[in-house]
């Protein structure tokens, strides 16, 4: 019988060819190869410091791992599918540079279980930093457009029905708030994730005199995990990252949906630049908002990745189980999709032309200042519920006669309630209606300008 050399003397047969193909994880492992080397460099340094490997072997391991890293960065690393995963590939290549004797000592006091748990945390730190940068760029793009459109009025919507007038800047800043929370979720989850599980071994730690805290310090992590069983079987950081990705993609999907709607002839609120649209293979007149549609569609993909890992984890007993190999395909796909979606949206926003005149024109239909009439009556001492009922009758009469609120005479208003005066007409002016809402977080000009100033100040600290 041929010996399965990867797993040592216990085995007398090679792995079945189908089993080897079925179980390999190299394609997804490639995403964490650099993180695997980074963790190994810290582990090797600690082993040398505590005397578990000699200073000479420590130097060979360091030099060999740096050579492996250089190959990975250059794209020349020779992956071997027969070695199953990233850890065995790195160790085998390390033997080429450092020698079999030195390379064989690297795995002292370490299991692939705590090794991959560490790699995943380092991968999250690296990739989430990238996504965070894209989110900052997206926020800056939104704020820049908001600054250009402080004076642009548009209908605000509820139930996709015209509701009340707002500033376009206020509308755009609403999405900036969402992206700001998305960044906050990244910061929150990393505070929990960035601790070192290394030293937990396969599940029960190691008898060797290692310094777990030293490895954490070398890697810039805040501490170490508290329980070895949990450390090797915990995938919460991945789930949190994918949850954050799903929420953020939902925000991007909502924004994309509005871009799609607003670019239609029916709305006519925006035109997206040619660089971010496509045509039709059959209809020459078409200009399709494909990038926005793709971002909207990719939201479902990321949510699906999250659900896939939840379902994988839900029935697993302690501690490590091979099912967990399915974590990285979902994680890497979710983070890749999230990063590219944020990046394309950030790039697209400056290419959007907002049709201010069409937005303003849309305020003339739909009775968007009807609430102002009710609030006016309240200032005259009418209970709001009574005022609401009165204005409802006013709107009903307008609908029946095909007129707008500004088309009614004072006498017609007073026929509905004696509290209406000449002042009524100033209350149904959209500009005044927006300015009347002098509350923090509202659409009045001063508060929108303050929100822009605050956002720019906050984002300048991210640079």
CATH number of 366-460: 1.10.40.30
Residues with catalytic roles: 159, 280
**Range(s) of the chain covered by CATH 1.10.275.10:** 5-108
Question: pLDDT truncated to tens, each residue of the chain (463 aa)?
Answer: 334 555 566 777 787 877 877 777 778 889 999 999 999 999 999 999 999 999 999 999 999 999 999 999 999 999 998 887 899 999 999 999 999 999 999 999 999 999 999 999 999 999 999 999 999 999 999 999 999 999 999 999 999 999 999 999 999 999 999 999 999 999 999 999 999 999 999 999 999 999 999 999 999 999 999 999 999 999 999 999 999 999 999 999 999 999 999 999 999 999 999 999 999 889 888 899 999 999 999 999 999 999 999 999 999 999 999 999 999 999 999 999 999 999 999 999 999 999 999 999 999 989 999 999 999 999 999 999 999 999 999 999 999 999 999 999 999 999 999 999 999 999 999 999 999 999 999 999 999 999 999 999 999 999 7
What confidence score (pLDDT) does residue 1 get? 31
Please check whether residue 201 is in contact with residue 113, taking contact to mean a CB–CB distance below 8 angstroms. Answer: yes
Which residues of 55-159 form beta strands (DSSP E)? Answer: 153-158
What lies within 8 Å, CB to CB, of 66 at 6+ separation is: 41
**Range(s) of the chain covered by CATH 1.10.40.30:** 366-460
Number of H helices, E strands in the chain: 20, 4
Structure token pair of residue 366: 């739909």
What lies within 8 Å, CB to CB, of 212 at 6+ separation is: 196, 198, 199, 224
What confidence score (pLDDT) does residue 4 get? 55
CA distance 411 to 323: 76
Entry pTM? 0.93
What confidence score (pLDDT) does residue 2 get? 37
Output the CA torsion 187→133→231→244 (10° steps).
70
CA distance 250 to 145: 21
Output the CA torsion 184→186→192→195 (10° steps).
-140
What lies within 8 Å, CB to CB, of 38 at 6+ separation is: 69, 122, 219
For every residue of 154-209, which 3-state class applies, written as one string?
Answer: EEEEECCEEEEEEEHHHHHHHHHHHHHHHHHHHHHHHHHHCCECCCCCCCCCCCCC
Cis peptide before 42 (omega within 30 of 0): no
Classify 367 as helix, strand or coil: coil
Please check whether residue 405 is in contact with residue 367, taking contact to mean a CB–CB distance below 8 angstroms. Answer: yes
CATH for 5-108 (1.10.238.10, 1.10.275.10, 2.60.120.340, 1.10.10.10): 1.10.275.10
What confidence score (pLDDT) does residue 6 get? 54
CATH number of 113-148+167-210+219-361: 1.20.200.10
């Amino acid at each position: 019988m041929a010996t399965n050399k990867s797993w040592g003397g216990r085995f007398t047969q090679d792995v079945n060819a189908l089993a080897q193909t079925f179980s390999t994880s190299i394609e997804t492992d490639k995403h964490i190869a650099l993180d695997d080397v980074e963790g190994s460099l810290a582990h090797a340094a600690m082993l040398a410091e505590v005397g578990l490997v000699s200073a000479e072997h420590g130097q060979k391991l360091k030099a060999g791992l740096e050579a492996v890293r250089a190959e990975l960065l250059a794209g020349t690393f020779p992956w071997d599918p027969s070695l199953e995963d990233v850890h065995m590939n790195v160790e085998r290549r390390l033997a080429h540079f450092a020698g079999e004797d030195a390379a064989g000592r690297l795995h002292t006091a370490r299991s692939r279980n705590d090794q991959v748990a560490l790699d995943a945390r380092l991968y999250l730190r690296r990739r989430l930093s990238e996504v965070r940068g894209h989110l900052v760029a997206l926020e800056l793009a939104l704020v820049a457009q908001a600054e250009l459109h402080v004076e642009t009025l548009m209908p605000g919507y509820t139930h996709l029905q015209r509701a009340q007038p707002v500033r376009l800047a206020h509308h755009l800043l609403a999405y900036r708030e969402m992206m700001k929370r998305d960044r906050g979720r990244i910061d929150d989850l990393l505070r929990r994730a960035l601790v070192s599980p290394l030293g937990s071994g396969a599940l029960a730690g190691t008898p060797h005199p290692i310094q777990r805290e030293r490895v954490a310090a070398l890697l810039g992590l805040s501490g170490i995990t508290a329980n070895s069983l949990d450390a090797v079987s915990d995938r919460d950081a991945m789930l949190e990252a994918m949850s954050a990705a799903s929420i953020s993609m939902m925000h991007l999907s909502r924004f994309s949906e509005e871009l799609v709607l607003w670019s239609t002839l029916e709305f006519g609120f925006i035109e997206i630049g040619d660089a971010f649209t496509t045509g039709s293979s059959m209809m020459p007149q078409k200009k399709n908002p494909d990038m926005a549609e793709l971002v909207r569609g990719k939201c479902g993909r990321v949510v699906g990745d999250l659900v896939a890992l939840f379902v994988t984890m839900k029935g697993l007993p302690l501690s490590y189980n091979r099912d967990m190999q399915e974590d990285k395909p979902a994680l890497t796909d979710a983070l890749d999709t999230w990063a590219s979606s944020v990046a394309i949206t950030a790039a697209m926003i400056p290419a959007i032309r907002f049709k201010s005149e069409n937005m303003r024109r849309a305020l003339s239909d739909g009775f968007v200042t009807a609430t102002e009439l009710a609030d006016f009556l309240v200032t005259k001492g009418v209970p709001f519920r009574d005022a609401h009922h009165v204005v409802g009758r006013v709107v009903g009469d307008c609908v029946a006669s095909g007129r707008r609120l500004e088309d009614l005479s004072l006498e017609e208003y007073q026929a509905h309630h004696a509290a209406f005066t000449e002042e009524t007409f100033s209350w149904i002016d959209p500009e005044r209606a927006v300015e009347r809402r002098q509350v923090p977080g509202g659409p009045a000009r001063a508060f929108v300008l303050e929100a822009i100033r605050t956002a720019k100040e906050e984002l300048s600290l991210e640079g």
